[in-house]
Amino acid sequence: MSLFVVRSRVREESVPAVEAGIDRMISALTHEAPEGVRYAYCKLPDGVTFMALLELAEGTENPLPGIAACREFQENLRNHWIDQPQAPAPEPLEVVGSFGLFE
């Protein structure tokens, strides 16, 4: 299993557009139902920082670039983020303990 996180901070006025994009992306993933993929987008308490978690089963390629709604979201996100000179990059995570999550 591979686990990745992407964090992005957006302008306050962009939050509704970002949330709508996330909704379209999740709908597309639900429709496509790629094997070996678990994905979630969360909003942090500050209301403007978003965190995406992507879990890929062993040997599974990241399907997100091949899904139009996911590509569009990534392309449009650049119009909304702040404090970042370039697109937020996925960072690998190492699970050091888990109960019922990331299995």
The three-class DSSP label of residue 16 is helix
26-45 residue pLDDT tens: 999 999 999 999 999 999 99
For residue 86, the model assigns a pLDDT of 65
State the average pLDDT over residues 82-101.
80
Q: Higher-confidence residue: 55 or 101?
A: 55
This prediction has a pTM of 0.86
What ranges do the domains of the chain cover?
Answer: 2-93
State the average pLDDT over residues 79-96.
79
Model confidence at 84: pLDDT above 80: no
Residue pair 50/8 in contact by the 8 Å Cβ criterion:
yes
CA gap 39, 86 in Å, rounded: 22
The three-class DSSP label of residue 33 is coil
The values of phi and psi at residue 91, to 5°, are -115, 135
User: Structure tokens of 45?
Assistant: 């308490």
Residues 6 or more apart in contact with residue 87 via CB below 8 angstroms = 74, 77, 78, 81
CATH top-level class of 2-93: alpha beta
Q: pLDDT band for 77, please (50, 70, 90 cuts).
A: confident
State the average pLDDT over residues 18-24.
95
